[in-house]
Amino acid sequence: MKQHAMDVIVTCDEGYLGPLRTMLYSLRASNQGAQVRIWLLHKGISLPALEELERFCSVLGLAIEPVTVDRVLLDGAKCSERYPQEMYYRLLAPSIIKAPIERALYLDPDILVINPLDDLFEIDLHGNAFAAASHLDAVHPATALNKARLSTSSDYFNTGVILFDIARARKSICVDELFSYVKAHEQVMLFPDQDLFNSLFGAVTLRIPDEIWNYDARKYPDNIIRTWGTATLDWVMEHTAILHFCGKNKPWAPGYRGQFASLYKHYDVLAQRVLK
């Protein structure tokens, strides 16, 4: 099985397949002609739902590889409502995916891809195992708080978009260490999946610009200010590749009024038409 031009990792349950389809539609629309393979890591999406997703991907020209994660892999992991089984999938992906691939990009389902991803896949990682963006700058109060809380010195990375150097990631990720860390530090973990990644892998993660590769859609006004007026809506549409709808308010929910609500609804409607 050869490396595709773009290997993309996603994880979700059956309830998130709608947003996932919208994200995949935007991914294809913004990367026309690229060979894309989707690795769907899940614990038990029903066969009819998987078959429908496979038809959807086939129409778009996306290869898809559903992988049911073996529960045995998570023996010893702390799992609860706050620590769902799926939170470990993105970090364990290099071990779960056995294919001989060099790089893979993890994407949350609550994302729109609005420009090509070629440059991200080709970025020089400078020997790091991962690349990710931070939504916090050095002077943000939460930056110092997170470093003190987690005893880290690196940036605090958002885990909704992670580029993996698969070989280096496999060497960096120890399953037992992941599970032991959660059990030993659960009292200080505010955002379990992100805290886990930052504590164990922040030092081997390359920081990439969030305004291009993981733009927090909630922060449009803030970004206008911190870029001295540069990051206008026109700038975002031309330069930003990944729009991430972070937080509890999601663009597919009734009443969402974010800056990019219309853009999301546009892609959502187009995705719904694919199988009609």
Instruction: Give a yes or no: residue 47 inside a domain.
Output: yes
Tally of structural domains, the chain: 1
Residues 6+ apart with CB under 8 A from 237: 114
Beta carbons within 8 Å of 124's beta carbon, 6+ residues apart? none
The structure tokens listed for 120 are 């991200």
Is residue 147 domain-resident? yes
For residue 53, being part of any structural domain is answered with yes
Instruction: Decide: 63 and 37 in contact? Cβ < 8 Å.
Output: yes
Model confidence at 139, in pLDDT bands (50, 70, 90)? very low
**pLDDT tens digit sequence for 222-271:** 888 878 888 899 999 999 999 999 989 999 999 899 999 999 999 999 99
The answer to the question of residue 131 being in a domain is yes
pLDDT-wise least confident of 40-44, 74-78, 218-222: 74-78
pLDDT given for residue 1 in this prediction: 45
Residue for token digits 């390359």? Answer: 206
Lowest mean pLDDT among 44-53, 113-122, 162-171, 173-182: 173-182
Domain assignment present for residue 44? The answer is yes
pLDDT in tens, 88-107: 888 999 989 989 999 999 99
179 vs 173: CA distance, rounded Å: 11
Domain boundaries, position 156: 6-273
Cα 165 to Cα 132, 204, 213: the distances in Å are 12, 11, 17
Position 145 scores a pLDDT of: 57
Q: pTM of the prediction?
A: 0.91
8-state DSSP, 158: E
Instruction: Tokens for 168, please give them.
Output: 């280096």
What backbone phi and psi angles, to 5 degrees, belong to 106? -85, 135
Q: How far, in Å, CA of 225 to CA of 228, rounded? A: 5
Whether 1 maps to a domain, the answer reads no
Predicted local distance difference test score (pLDDT) of residue 151:
56
